[in-house]
Structure 1
């Protein structure tokens, strides 16, 4: 059995099954509608918008004419027939197609329930209109059929708008790769489309350019911003022999590289493939309405046919009343409130979420939020702020802390490196004026040398100091080791050939991180940190926020594998991330939660977006998901309960008491049940408006 990638229904892999192949992978579909949504989502969304708007435009006057009766009964019914026909057979055509596909698959679904119920209501009403004397009653149900069709279309339109963003996420990933590459051929620089780059080609990468393909550095040195792929905020120094990744940005120096992975083998292509696979492979929420419809539809049809035949042959009430028994069962069993049961709760749930900084992108994510038991956090940009800050300044001379910071900032003002920019930013925040250096030289992989006002300033690592003949004693080494063990980057500052201080920098934690982790633990969640950083740095950060389980040194394509492994442990997994490198993991997780300040790809791949960039809203999302799903289930219960409770009456259970004439007042009973179920559903959903996150008072007082 295959699974429909659009609706999640299981489909038999038979010769005549609806199928489509993409990049050598075959997908099976339960209906042609799902096939069209998969192959041309933008076209289908445009069609659905037009149909839904037209259906709403026709349903409003149908409803007004039904309940306000401006016209004489005979004329009114013909006007209703004219207005309802396009709603039933044009706007509702997709339900007939879905029913036919379900019949071919020997199954039933919501389309079947909608098609059978609305057709029965429409045809009965059409007969009453065209041949008033055929039935003893003049009540018509045109508005019932129209309202059901319109509400279901509206719900599907909301779903389609969410699904459209999946393909948009992949397009943004593709946009990261440069279109052209500079290839060196016979000593000449030739610009070619990136698709024509072959493995082994030599390429030239200038400062500020994106690297076209995965490659090894042959000549030159530079720092490369890999944050888009690895999530690491600090650029990585590259020297001959280093690997560079396609779509990353060359920051400072000229690089000559040799292509090692091109086309579908590149890291970016693998990430795109993982996003697509995880997107299509994820089973959507098993909607309760569909599950009930699977058994409900055949049962209703059997009851309707049985009641009609039983009253005709055994009850002897005549053909007219026997047909009324059949039609009454079908109409009453098609619950109008079912169309608003989920949208009403979702409207309140998503509205309340947005009010509190949480954006839900579909009903399936609310369903999954209720089940989550493991929450995985990316480190850089998610738990941390995503940019380095100066955390410690240790003075090693009599120059004083302010003077060490001032001269270090002057030297770093000529650097584009984020660590250097953090030093300059710290000096300005402290009120120290930062001038430009008289001269500046970057030493790739080690640090920099600058001259200012006759002072020679060196900033770099231990090796740079040793190469310059500046001794780094055991005490200084011990201080640096302590800082590094705490997950910080320790940099030495020398002035005029003597050590003057140590400046430590780190990507600092977000203010809300600790409280969010504590709240999740209180909810019984297992919390995991997932990062590409080294294990020492990762564990230091994890200890500060109270995370016990750390998975470090994970490459982008491995993040998705880690999530899949966690899911295999039998617990529903939520992934919280912000970068492109997190997109496959967000898509593979049962629930992807994207930080609002993160990349567009992360936001569009995630099922929930934290608008306010506040990690405490992860807790709000899970709480609100549970409460909203509870309302949806209650609504679905009431949507079915009122109508199914009346099925025995519609089938004629009270005929022995009231006689066949009961069918004269049964339509009013059906209308009352429909109204009462709708009111119950809406009122129950409105109760979500009282929800208030547990930490809201804390947030207000901060």
Structure 2
């Protein structure tokens, strides 16, 4: 019996995670479920990759397990990412509002606590302003800490709840029972401003963190944006526009000039040049004729054609690229696995250190030992927040892999990215990587002693290239327009596939194209040698000639970027 035949790996959006400790908790809870082979949580993407046996368990069991600890999973496979974005957007706006209001309430508390601490009823005023900050706007810290405690777990919320809760309760006792300390010759200090400011700054940090996490998904959104929303479906009753989600295999689709191709397929009618740079990195458009394959996300240049859909939805090459980027962004580098281990024991160790700190103050602090010890304990709990520990590495991985994807560089996973520092040689085999990706005419050499005015030949050459659909024609047009603005009135224009173009002017035939068009035409030894030298420098050589001789040679190349 093959025990691995029903093994499946899925990526599930997670809701409710607020720190690296939360990610460790979710990961350990799901990993402990029966039938789960492996679970890996990425805090930056807010997703968990689960490998499990479909015969032994199902995603609904994972959801129930994490819900019991205060988290949740989105199991909608079709709209999971959209739902997660909506929830995160709502949470961000709510957090932003709570942070702003908390900041406004905390301002007078800080001013009174630092400057006007001796004013009448100062403690009562600070208490009134601090209470809503701690127990209303900051209630999620206490709720999450309680849920964690029920399962003998702790995270960053535990640290915040303990530090601010103890500071507020200690201050509350000193506000209503100051005599307790006066009878012992001590001044009853309050720390309302500490509790208020800690909550505000932690919320501000979370706000910035949420913004950083939302920005890291921009690369995926840009890749998804390469796909059009609608397509023109061709049927026996004519053409009609349908949503890309309604396209099925075998559908006949029309692509017009300038449109993006929606799905993968095969051309069955028409021809055109297609920009496939998002897949191949090549800036020069590729000719597509009957029988050629086309891919989703690529851009049709000139002309129109019809193709039969072969791969749709998640089967297209673009969808596979997006999936690879998502998997790479969600993967963990070896250093992140170490960070997760540290984060898992970080909070309990910090709590222990905080208690030890209070104990040392009580034993050796002398006067005001309890007050100073309490403040020191709160300080330890607050400054030891492990958010940066858990967020820095996955965010760096997401941004790095995402930026690479935007620039056509697909990084396999976090392991590959981390080991990149060992690279000592880079081999580049595609134009557009170190070049500008815009072919230009680098040299245009005319034959000497031409029969008619050179300006006339320029106008004929310009007219022919303006009618051409070849992507390199634009480079020649751009160069010739620097020398003449007028195009000759040519007739009988024809495009010779794979070779070039031909036209007639004043009863004489002219050609422009590659060496394949040259069939015995006379070319001077000087121009011939020059053409060979251009080809030796990896330039594309275009010949312009008439029935008797080669008139000009143009060199087209993609210039190396200046930076």
1:499 aligns with 2:550: yes
The answer to whether structure 1 residue 90 and structure 2 residue 136 are counterparts is yes
Cα distance in 2 between the residues matched to 1:446 and 1:106: 75
Gaps of 5+ in 2: 1-10, 53-58, 75-82, 390-413
Alignment-derived partner of residue 55 in structure 1: 102
Greater per-residue helix proportion = 1
Residues 445, 190 of structure 1: CA spacing in aligned structure 2 closer, same or farther, 3 A cutoff?
farther
Q: Which residue of 1 aligns with 2:324?
A: 274
Q: Look up the SS of the partner of 1:500 in the other structure.
A: strand
Contact 1:213/1:245 (CA < 8 Å) preserved in 2?
yes
Name the residue aligned to 2:442: 391
C-alpha change, 1:85 and 1:471, in structure 2 (3 Å) is farther
Residue 125 of structure 2 corresponds to 79
Identify the residue that residue 41 of structure 1 maps to in structure 2: 88
Q: Which residue of 1 aligns with 2:8?
A: none
Distance (Å, rounded) in 2 between the aligned partners of 1:160 and 1:458 = 61
Q: Deviations over 1:330-375 (max 9, x none)?
A: 2242456989999xxxxxxxxxxxxxxxxxxxxxx9xx99995659
Deviations 1:543-585 (A, max 9, x none): xxxxxxxxxxxxxxxxxxxxxxxxxxxxxxxxxxxxxxxxxxx
Would the aligned equivalents of 1:491 and 1:502 in 2 still touch at CA under 8 Å? yes
Alignment partner of 1:14 is 2:32: yes
**Paired residue for 1:159, among 201, 209, 218?**
209
- Confirm or deny: 8 A CA contact 2:354 2:381 kept in the other structure: no
CA contact (8 A) 2:355 2:377 kept: no
Q: For 2:12 and 2:299, locate their aligned partners in 1 and report how far apart those are by CA, in whole Å.
A: 40
Give per-residue Cα distances to partners, 1:45-78, cap 9 Å, x unaligned. 11121121112212221111111217624x1111
- Find the counterpart in structure 2 of residue 138 from structure 1: 188
1:151–1:340 contact (8 Å) kept in structure 2: no
Secondary structure at the aligned position of 2:467 is classed as coil
2:539 and 2:355 map into 1 onto residues whose CA distance is 71
- Give distance in 1, aligned partners of 2:340 and 2:116: 38
Q: TM-score, normalised by structure 1?
A: 0.58
In structure 2, C-alpha distance between the alignment counterparts of 1:227 and 1:200, rounded to whole Å: 26
**1:484 Cα shift?**
4.6
CA contact (8 A) 1:412 1:424 kept: yes
Judge conservation of contact 2:13–2:48 (CA < 8 Å) in 1.
no
Shift of 1:79: 0.9
Report deviation, 1:288.
12
1:29-54 Cα distance to aligned partner (Å, 9 max, x none): 79857969956221121112112111
> Who is 1:128 aligned against?
174
By how many angstroms is 1:141 displaced?
A: 1.0
Q: Is the 8 A contact 1:446 1:460 kept in 2?
A: yes
Asked whether the equivalents of residues 523 and 549 of structure 2 are also in contact (C-alpha less than 8 Å), the reply is no
Residues 189 and 371 in structure 2, CA contact (< 8 A), matched pair in contact too: no
Q: Matches of 2:50 and 2:466 in 1, distance apart?
A: 49
Whether the aligned pair in 2 keeps the contact of 1:424 and 1:434 (CA below 8 Å) is no
| 1:493, distance to aligned residue in structure 2 (A) | 1.9
Aligned match for 2:283, one of 218, 233, 239: 233
Task: Identify if the C-alpha distance between structure 1 residues 483 and 326 changes in structure 2 by more than 3 Å, giving closer, same or farther.
Answer: same
Q: Deviations over 1:308-340 (max 9, x none)?
A: 8x85xxx9x9xx978547624422424569899
Check 1:415–1:159 CA distance in 2 against 1; reply closer, same or farther (3 A cut): farther
**Structure 1 residue 130, shift from structure 2 partner:** 2.1
TM value normalised by structure 2: 0.70
Contact 2:350 2:381 in 1 (8 A): no
Could you tell me how far apart the structure 2 residues matched to 1:94 and 1:321 are? 32
Structure of higher CA gyration radius: 2
Structure with more contact order per residue of length (Cα contacts < 8 Å, sep ≥ 6)? 1
Preserved CA contact (<8 Å) 1:225 1:236: yes
Per-residue CA distance 1:10-29 (angstroms, 9 max, x = gap): 32123499998899997997
* Residue of 506, 510, 519 corresponding to 1:457: 510
- Conserved? CA contact 2:273–2:469, under 8 Å: no
Contact 1:397 1:499 in 2 (8 A): no
Q: Which residue of 2 aligns with 1:210?
A: 260
Q: Residues 580-613 of structure 1: CA distance to partner in whole angstroms, max 9, x if unpaired?
A: xxxxxxxxxxxxxxxxxxxxxxxxxxxxxxxxxx
Q: 2:358, 2:376 within 8 Å by CA — same for their partners in 1?
A: no
- Taking the TM superposition and a 5 Å limit, the aligned residue runs for 1:19-418 are 32=70, 40-69=87-116, 72-73=119-120, 75-100=121-146, 102-103=148-149, 106-135=152-181, 136-186=186-236, 188-281=238-331, 286=339, 293-294=346-347, 296-303=349-356, 306-307=359-360, 324=371, 327-334=374-381, 372=421, 374=423, 381=432, 383-395=434-446, 398-399=449-450, 407-415=460-468, 417-418=470-471
Q: Distance in 2 between matches of 1:401 and 1:511?
A: 34
